[in-house]
């Protein structure tokens, strides 16, 4: 089912944008934003959930939780492993937080986060060993800074939180529930954990104030479009920072000229290691997705000897697809001035 086969009204787009910024926004606030009644706003939210499989989740600050070692890895197999084998392998993995099946230059995409370099390299070594029957070629790059977007985490991430992050058992339980449904009521959290609602409110407030919860947000799982992803490296010269990065930012922001259904560029990450840049692009078709993503970037750095590896994301086998509708002009993190 393509997006063109579905009616996505301007009111629905406005509600998606508001929920992307704050998934806990009240129905009265959503109604005011979309200029409709509370009853209509509730109906539109329910329709969006059903039609596009909208999940309510968290955007987490990894540094605040002690996940100092973050890597994005792609794997190319000589022999394709069974999907159920991969699902079982990663199901309880404390380091692999998002795992996607892909088709193209690589077969698997992993976002991994660990507390120390030693624990990360142990995990990576074990992973290569567990996959050895399928002759994997692993290409890890270190996650430095996300200029745009986020990685929605599988709720098992709470089991890997570093002890000295000062997150107790109750905070972990609250984070797990909010990660699974960031729109859940404080009263419902309290009932689930047998804790007073006022205590839950204070603890959530504290998690936000400490910056552990960056945002209550959404992840759209049934977009009707195509997600492509690419890794890229290129040579640097004296104009790279002053020209390439501002153009990259401008390209990501241009979609705001018309309110999108989903951000055309859900994610851009600066990296170190095998590649310099990682990005995810969204389009109604494969051609549109590739044109907005890898092809545009290759053209941008064409004089800097680009090398890229790209693939189409088929589906997540752990975690969620990072699709939402944010104002990229407001939320793009430009680190060069």
Quickly count helices (H) and strands (E) in the chain: 12, 10
**Per-residue pLDDT reduced to its tens digit, 178-196:** 999 999 999 999 999 999 9
Count of CB atoms situated within 10 Å of the CB of 323: 27
Going residue by residue through the chain (337 aa), what tens digit of pLDDT does each one get?
444 445 688 999 999 999 999 999 999 999 999 999 999 999 999 999 999 999 999 999 999 998 989 999 999 999 999 999 999 999 999 999 999 999 999 999 999 999 999 999 999 999 999 999 999 999 999 999 989 999 998 998 898 887 666 889 999 999 999 999 999 999 999 999 999 999 999 999 999 999 999 999 999 999 999 999 999 999 887 777 777 878 887 887 776 556 788 999 999 999 998 899 999 999 999 999 999 999 999 999 998 899 999 999 999 999 999 999 988 888 887 665 5
Crossing angle (nearest 10°) for helices 169-180 and 197-209: 90
Q: What is the pTM of this model?
A: 0.92
Residues of the chain with CATH 3.30.70.920: 226-331
CA torsion 295-300-306-307 (nearest 10°) is: -30
The residue among 80, 6, 21 whose CA lies nearest residue 217 is: 21
CATH 2.30.30 correct for 3-52: no
CATH of domain 226-331: 3.30.70.920
Report in angstroms the alpha-carbon separations of 307 from 207, 298, 310: 41, 8, 10
Q: % helix / strand / coil in the chain, to the nearest 5?
A: 45, 25, 30
Residues 139 and 150: their CA atoms lie apart, in Å, by: 21
Residues 293 and 280: their CA atoms lie apart, in Å, by: 7
């Amino acid at each position: 089912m393509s997006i063109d086969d579905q009616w996505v009204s301007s009111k629905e787009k406005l509600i998606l944008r508001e929920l992307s910024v704050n998934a806990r926004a009240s129905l009265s606030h959503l109604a005011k934003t979309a200029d409709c009644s509370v009853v209509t706003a509730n109906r539109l939210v329910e329709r969006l959930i059903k039609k596009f499989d909208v999940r309510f989740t968290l955007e987490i600050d990894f540094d605040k939780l002690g996940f100092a070692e973050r890597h994005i890895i792609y794997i190319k197999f000589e022999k394709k492993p069974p999907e159920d084998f991969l699902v079982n392998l990663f199901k309880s993995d404390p380091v692999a937080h998002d795992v996607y099946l892909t088709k193209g230059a690589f077969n698997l995409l992993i976002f991994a986060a660990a507390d120390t370099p030693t624990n990360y390299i142990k995990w990576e070594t074990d992973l290569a060993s567990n996959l050895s029957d399928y002759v994997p070629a692993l290409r890890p790059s270190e996650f430095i800074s996300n200029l745009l977007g986020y990685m929605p985490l599988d709720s098992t991430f709470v089991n890997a939180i570093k002890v000295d992050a000062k997150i107790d058992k109750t905070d972990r339980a609250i984070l797990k529930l909010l990660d699974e449904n960031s729109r859940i009521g404080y009263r419902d959290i309290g009932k689930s954990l047998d804790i007073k609602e006022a205590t839950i409110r204070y603890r959530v407030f504290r998690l936000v104030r400490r910056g552990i919860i960056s945002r209550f947000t959404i992840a759209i799982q049934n977009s009707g479009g195509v997600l492509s992803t690419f890794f890229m490296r290129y040579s640097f010269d004296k104009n790279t920072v002053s020209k390439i990065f501002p153009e990259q930012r401008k390209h990501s922001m241009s979609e705001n000229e018309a309110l999108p259904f989903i951000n055309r560029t859900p994610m851009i990450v600066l990296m170190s290691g095998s590649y310099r840049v990682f990005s995810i692009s969204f389009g109604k078709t494969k051609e549109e997705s590739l044109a907005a993503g890898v092809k545009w970037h290759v053209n941008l750095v064409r004089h800097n000897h680009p090398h890229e590896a790209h693939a189409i994301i088929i589906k997540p086998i752990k975690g969620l697809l990072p699709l939402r509708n944010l104002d990229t002009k407001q939320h793009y993190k430009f680190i060069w001035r």
